[in-house]
């Protein structure tokens, strides 16, 4: 049995990475690293704060399963660059048994087949029109042209996007649903409902297994919502993070050269450290379970997802896709 890791840090923060459009999460002022000891440098400030909130929300011991955004971020950095071909191949293989294409037999289960047609036929049409991927319903054979078109989509995705697509594909057993979430054709809620059409049909017939179906559903919601938030917090094409446009006023004699730095007055006014990196801290970490309304940080984890991440996740959960 793996020993638990006790929370050792007192403060969680976010700071801009010097000379790069990246953001780091800090624990007691020290930038986090990935499990492979690479710098955890995130592409947007929003994503950095979301990951920081997951660390902030930890109790007495670290619980990695309550940090889905951290997992997606470290996967993007540590794993995707070296295994992109394998990940893409795995997602393409999923298309052969994709829930959107592989349907119930209309003669054996006409009611389920009708429910699947209502849920999936519009996606089949959208996929062909928007992505050039032509799938055939009720067939486990993916036409070569469809596989090639899907491969082009994956080849154009960056490492961060690919990590989220792979997570949703595995969770939903559907590359089509993952792509629909990424393109905002479906919301997180709609993806979860679509992924469970057959399971929900059987549950309606025979009843729900307590601590079985309900936990599976909750786990799916967390995974899909985390990936949805992750994708929405990625930078839009051509948009860069803001930079400090004021020159440092402090000078420090280093002997053979002079170092410039932001003065204490500039740091207070601009919210940066002496090197000009935005440096913001969350309230002190409590080693017990965070409790709302009893001082300290107002942090709440629902199914292992922090409130800041939820502000992105649940924004589209109760709404239709844009």
Domain definitions of the chain by residue range = 73-238, 248-278
Q: How confident is the model at residue 145 (pLDDT cuts 50, 70, 90)?
A: confident
> Is pTM, for the whole model, over 0.95?
no
**The pLDDT value given to residue 303:** 34
**The pLDDT value given to residue 117:** 95
Q: Is the pLDDT of residue 139 over 60?
A: no
- Out of 1.10.3580.10, 3.30.160.270, 3.40.50.620, 3.40.430.10, the CATH code matching 73-238 is 1.10.3580.10
User: pLDDT tens digits for 6-65?
Assistant: 999 999 999 988 877 899 999 999 999 999 999 999 999 899 999 999 999 999 999 999
User: pLDDT tens digits for 73-126?
Assistant: 999 999 999 999 999 999 999 998 899 998 988 889 999 999 999 999 999 999
Which 3-state string (H, E, C) describes the chain?
CCCCCECCCCCEEEEECCCCCCEEEEECCEECECCCCCECEECCHHHHHHHHHHHHCCCCECCHHHCHHHHHHHHHHHHHHHHHHHHHHHHHHHHHHCCCCCCCCCCCCHHHHHHHHHHHHHHHHHHHHHHCCCCCCCCCCCCHHHHHHHHHHHHHCCHHHHHHHHHHHHHHCCHHHHHHHHCCCCCHHHHHHHHCHHHHHHHHHHCCCCCCHHHHHHHHHHHHHHHHHHHHCCCCCCCCCCCCCCCCCEEEECCCCEEEECCHHHHHHHCECCCCCEEEECCCCCCCCCCCCCCCCCCCEECCEEHHHHHHHCCCCCCCCC
Range with the poorest average pLDDT among 75-79, 225-229, 240-244: 240-244
User: pLDDT tens digits for 277-295?
Assistant: 555 445 555 444 333 223 3
């Amino acid at each position: 049995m793996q020993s638990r890791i006790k929370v050792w840090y007192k403060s969680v923060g976010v700071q801009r990475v010097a000379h790069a459009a990246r953001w780091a999460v800090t624990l007691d002022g020290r930038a986090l690293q990935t499990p492979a000891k690479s710098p955890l440098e995130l592409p947007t400030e929003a994503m950095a704060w979301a990951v920081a909130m997951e660390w902030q929300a930890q109790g007495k011991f670290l619980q990695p399963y309550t940090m889905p955004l951290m997992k997606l971020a470290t996967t993007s950095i540590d794993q995707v660059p070296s295994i992109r071909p394998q990940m893409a191949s795995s997602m393409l293989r999923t298309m052969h048994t994709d829930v959107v294409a592989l349907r119930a037999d209309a003669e054996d289960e006409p009611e389920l087949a009708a429910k699947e047609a209502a849920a999936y036929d519009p996606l089949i049409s959208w996929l062909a029109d928007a992505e050039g991927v032509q799938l055939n319903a009720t067939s486990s054979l993916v036409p070569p042209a469809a596989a090639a078109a899907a491969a082009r989509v994956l080849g154009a995705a960056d490492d961060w996007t690919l990590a989220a697509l792979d997570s949703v594909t595995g969770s939903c057993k559907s590359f089509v649903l993952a792509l629909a979430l990424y393109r905002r054709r479906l919301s997180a809620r709609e993806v979860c409902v679509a992924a469970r059409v057959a399971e929900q049909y059987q549950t309606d017939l025979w009843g729900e297994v307590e601590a079985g179906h309900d936990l599976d559903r909750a786990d799916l919601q967390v995974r899909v919502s985390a990936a949805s938030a992750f994708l929405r917090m990625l930078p839009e094409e051509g948009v860069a993070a803001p930079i400090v446009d004021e020159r440092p006023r402090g000078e420090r004699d280093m002997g053979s050269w002079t170092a410039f730095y932001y003065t204490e007055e500039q740091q207070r006014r601009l919210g940066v450290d002496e090197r000009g990196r935005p440096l913001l801290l969350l309230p002190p970490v409590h080693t017990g379970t965070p409790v709302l309304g009893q001082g300290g940080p107002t942090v709440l984890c629902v199914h292992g997802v922090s409130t800041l991440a939820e502000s992105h996740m649940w924004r589209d959960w109760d709404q239709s896709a844009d």
